[in-house]
Amino acid sequence: MTVVTRFAPSPTGRLHVGNIRTALHNFLFARKNGGEFLLRIDDTDRERSTAEFDQAIRDDLDWLGVTPDRIFRQSERFDLYEREFQRLRDGGWVYACYETPEELELRRKVLLGRGLPPVYERKPADAPVPEGRKPHWRFKLDHDAPIVFDDLIRGEQRFDPKLLSDPVVRREDGSWLYLLPSVIDDVDLGVTHVVRGEDHVSNSAAQTQMFVALGAAPPRFAHEALLVAAEGKLSKRLGSYGAEHLREEGVEPMALLSVLARIGTSQPVEPAASLDELARDFDFGHFGRAPAHFDPREVELINARLLHKMDYPAVADRLPLQASEEDWLLLRQNLGHLSDFGGWFEVLHGDIEPPELSHDERLVAKDAVTAAEPLDWSTEPWRALTDAVKASTGKKGRELFHPLRLALTGRESGPEMAGLVARMGKQRALDRLAAAAKR
Ligand code: GLU
């Protein structure tokens, strides 16, 4: 059996971390099993779906590298839904209903008032059809077939169909609700594993019977615990925390994906360099039932760790043209975002804003000019320079190193000075020391 998974967003908004995580898990499971990952755009709601969101979803997945093998749009499949609907209707699996929302709500309240479960009550087959009303359609759950499925994350799930309302699958105006088209698609596209949020568990219960009604075996389900912000529930802010935002912040896709692959599982979050690396030990068996906590600061941390061990070939085409492997290896340890590289590259090979030094610090810089002039820059110039300035000024520790770092790099902190000084070259170092001594 070839594993086929699908990610099925509605194009009514941008992707955020919650649904990126679902997409990623579908992708990784398919990748691990040598299967296929489908993108199904759930655009049956013609009013809320837009072509712009459809495009944005595909762009975001592309940027993340979570690229689908095939793409489908529900709006292009209405003929299939119509055919399958007729088949179910002929088989007595869907039936017409005429209640208004107000009537249904009233009945619900009555049942609840009596302490009864507010389950939809079927009308007798010969009940009179109210005049002038168009029907909507419900799927007729099989009350004699207990619903049991073995969830890959939640374990065995049992439902008594008598306690579930027959779900509405189609509205008066002929438009579709999500449940049935989704099952028709899953059958038609050969989906073997449905991976989605646990808010869909009771949908899955009803849907297992729809698969049977359509003559297909239900797929395996994996319902994942929802994502919450580290401080509480998925806040508004995180709701808009998506690829767009990360791109602006200069966060590496793999940093976000490394976090989303592992939070809520028993495995530690580690920076992974590739999706294949993440797929290798992806396993629903590691997923917990408790909500997964998402913290943007963790993404930042993983981003830095990812950069610190990133090989030159992996970034070369995103660095300034003249940047060499040596530059990269020297500077990567200090980067939070790749965009920080440019500034440091200037420290090595370009110009810096001359820093403001205090009176005492200027004296150190001045001594350093004298000390640097005779030095041979090809062997440990930083060590030689600091030894000499230490001897001439009697300063040590921060009083020695801080003015030199400031004068030579224009910055308070950064990568180790030995590497920077050797790489920037003697003339540049001399010029900077001289400039700092004068100000
Ligand atoms: N469009 C549905 C949603 O976004 C799809 C759920 C599913 O994966 O079946 O909730």
Q: Does domain 1-71+225-309 have CATH number 1.50.10.10?
A: no
Measured at the alpha carbon of residue 4, what is the angle toward residues 3 and 6, in degrees to the nearest 5? Answer: 145
Q: Residue 227: what residue type?
A: L
CATH number of 80-170: 3.90.800.10
Q: Which residue carries 């839904």 as its tokens?
A: 81
pLDDT at 169: 98
Ligand 1 atom nearest residue 42's Cα: 1
- Residues 417/408, Cβ–Cβ less than 8 Å: yes
Ligand 1 atom nearest residue 9's Cα: 4
Q: Is the pTM of the predicted complex or chain greater than 0.85?
A: yes
Helices (H), 74-231: 78-90, 101-113, 179-188, 201-213
Sign of CA pseudo-dihedral 257, 262, 268, 272: negative
Using CB atoms within 10 A of its CB, is residue 169 exposed (0-12), middle (13-18) or buried (19+)?
A: buried
Measured at the alpha carbon of residue 275, what is the angle toward residues 335 and 251, in degrees to the nearest 5? Answer: 30
**pLDDT tens across the length of the chain (439 residues):** 899 999 999 999 999 999 999 999 999 999 999 999 999 999 999 999 999 999 999 999 999 999 999 999 999 999 999 999 999 999 999 999 999 999 999 999 999 999 999 999 999 988 999 999 999 999 999 999 999 999 999 999 999 999 999 999 999 999 999 999 999 999 999 999 999 999 999 999 999 999 999 999 999 999 999 998 877 555 556 677 888 888 888 999 999 999 999 999 999 999 999 999 999 999 999 999 999 999 999 999 999 999 999 999 999 999 999 999 999 999 999 999 999 999 999 999 999 998 999 999 999 999 999 999 999 999 999 999 999 999 999 999 999 999 999 999 999 999 999 999 999 999 999 999 999 999 7
Residue 169 DSSP one-character state: E
139 SS3 class: strand
Beta strand 155-159 with 147-151: parallel, antiparallel or unpaired?
antiparallel
Identify which of 40, 53, 182, 208 to mutate to test ligand 1's pocket (most ligand atoms within 8 A of the CB): 182
pLDDT at 235: 57
pLDDT at 243: 87
Q: Give the binding-site residues of ligand 1, using a 6 Å CB cut-off.
A: 8-10, 42, 178, 182, 196, 200
> Considering only CA atoms, which residue is closest to atom 3 of ligand 1?
9
Q: Which CATH number does the domain 351-438 belong to among 1.10.10.350, 3.40.50.620, 3.40.630.30, 1.10.3720.10?
A: 1.10.10.350
pLDDT at 248: 87
Q: How far is ligand 1, taken at its centre, from the CA of residue 280, in Å?
A: 26
pLDDT at 240: 73
- Residues 267/212, Cβ–Cβ less than 8 Å: no
Identify which of 10, 44, 45, 211 to mutate to test ligand 1's pocket (most ligand atoms within 8 A of the CB): 10
- Residues 223/50, Cβ–Cβ less than 8 Å: no
pLDDT at 249: 86
| Torsion angle of C-alpha atoms 57, 60, 65, 71, degrees rounded to 10 | 20
> Considering only CA atoms, which residue is closest to atom 5 of ligand 1?
8
Q: How far is ligand 1, taken at its centre, from the CA of residue 6, in Å?
A: 10
407 contacts: CB under 8 Å, gap ≥ 6: 355, 357, 361, 365, 368, 432, 433, 435, 436, 437
277 SS3 class: helix
Q: Which residue carries 């820059």 as its tokens?
A: 377
Identify which of 15, 178, 192 to mutate to test ligand 1's pocket (most ligand atoms within 8 A of the CB): 178
Strand order in the sheet with 4-7: 70-73, 36-41, 4-7, 193-197, 220-224
| Domain ranges for the chain | 1-71+225-309, 80-170, 312-348, 351-438
Phi and psi torsions of 150, nearest 5°: -100, 100
pLDDT at 439: 74
